[in-house]
Structure 1
């Protein structure tokens, strides 16, 4: 990794961390395209494995903050994450089998879905006493398995899938869902990282730079969020539009590469 790539890795981490701190989620969905098209990782699978490592570490940092605020429902988190680990491992195995360009193309389609979720917003209402019971344990586990599959397959934290899944399966308010989701994000991320690392598909130095940039960016994003508290909904909509632009660019590049047979489909070109 040359100095330019190292600098771009830190800058990408800052951008993702800042976005997470500012709008409360969605930033990690940009990690893979930034690593592929900006930093210039030649293998899409390495980008996914490296992204999973960075996302998992950043999730632990966020979890510590939520744990101090007592917004984590640990029993729900345990059921959700336990079922999701199996899904994450299966998803990571499947992701390594799929060709690089096809995997990026599918990832872009997922980005469109995340953008739609951001535009729709999330209702914060719910039961603050909601927890895992015999009645909802099956729903929680099933949702965990499904989101774990997607998280492992694409190497993402999956917070925008986990948070609404927890709210739907338990009835908890969004604040608790966000805090609880970070347990699953970290567990899924480390499971995916382990699978990719065993195949030699994690760039550890880049992951470290990405995490360092992400920590700095999240601090700035959190401060900006406090100042722009009344505008966070509008900021989320703007960021959703950015996601759409990046996703459609990835779809165009991926579709063109597959149809035209341009180059090695595992080695996307930089911007």
Structure 2
């Protein structure tokens, strides 16, 4: 019982961070499940995909209400991202892929995400992102590039259980010519659907603690709603800097745990 309470606190914090900074918080779901709840790594990654997917879908709501979701671009990016996530999950479920391989890969992606968060948090540029003119039509090259990017990001999602917003948003802006504000909201749709596809790739191949997964998801979802209401009270850039540093520290902790386990 105490373990559940201890786990729900970071679950709520994960949701709050997602509501406050629009992403990144869900990347902590795997470490909490593995090192707090003692869930096997493969199972934790599979379960985290549901958590990531649900909180991302909830996170879409305020963006949609503000008109900052481009469903057309999401429809272009999502199918290959879902395919990639399913394939990545099936690869990860293979016996040859050990939990340590997944955890090290996950930690590396955490470090990359942390670096981008810290850089964004320390940027002296305006909080308003630069807008990129939207094109009415996508040429063949753009469609292929968007599809390839979606497939690649999806593979990472399925393999290590990350949402990948830090890769999706630049792709939507640069390849999809989507304005930055729309890219953030649109990326959450992509993350939600490809997370579901990745989870389906694990089902039947790893054990799933359904009760823990659903209760953790509910707690994170409540945190997301709370975080959305706190956005006007917290300096988002400063929060990203602090949170990025914390994510980096957790990544180092994971790498140390893997090293100690191998020693």
User: Considering the TM-score relative to the shorter chain, is it more than 0.5?
Assistant: yes
Matching of residues 90-129 of structure 1 within 5 Å = 90-97=87-94, 98-121=97-120, 124-127=129-132, 129=134
CA distance in 2, matches of 1:118, 1:132: 32
Alpha carbons 1:95, 1:103 under 8 Å: kept: yes
Alpha carbons 1:131, 1:172 under 8 Å: kept: no
TM-score computed with the length of structure 1 as normaliser:
0.87
Which of the numbers 79, 83, 88 marks the counterpart of 2:85?
A: 88
Instruction: Give per-residue Cα distances to partners, 1:83-119, cap 9 Å, x unaligned.
Output: 1112111111122231112211111111000011112
Which of the numbers 187, 190, 197 marks the counterpart of 1:184?
A: 190
Task: Identify if the C-alpha distance between structure 1 residues 165 and 201 changes in structure 2 by more than 3 Å, giving closer, same or farther.
Answer: farther
Matching of residues 39-50 of structure 1 within 5 Å = 39-41=37-39, 43-50=40-47
Alpha carbons 1:151, 1:189 under 8 Å: kept: yes
What residue is the counterpart of 1:68 in the other structure? 65
Alpha carbons 1:75, 1:132 under 8 Å: kept: no
Gaps of at least 5 residues in structure 1 are 261-271
Matching of residues 208-219 of structure 1 within 5 Å = 208-219=214-225
Instruction: Give per-residue Cα distances to partners, 1:149-195, cap 9 Å, x unaligned.
Output: 11111112221221122112123222101111112111111011111
Alpha carbons 1:63, 1:183 under 8 Å: kept: yes
Gaps of at least 5 residues in structure 2 are none
Bigger mean CA offset, 18-27 vs 113-122: 113-122
CA distance in 2, matches of 1:47, 1:205: 13
CA distance in 2, matches of 1:150, 1:177: 19
Which of the numbers 149, 156, 164 marks the counterpart of 1:143?
A: 149
| Number of corresponding residues | 254
What residue is the counterpart of 1:250 in the other structure? 254
Task: Identify if the C-alpha distance between structure 1 residues 61 and 29 changes in structure 2 by more than 3 Å, giving closer, same or farther.
Answer: same
Q: CA RMSD in A?
A: 1.8
Task: Identify if the C-alpha distance between structure 1 residues 44 and 99 changes in structure 2 by more than 3 Å, giving closer, same or farther.
Answer: same
Q: How far did residue 57 of structure 1 move?
A: 1.4
Q: How far did residue 29 of structure 1 move?
A: 0.8
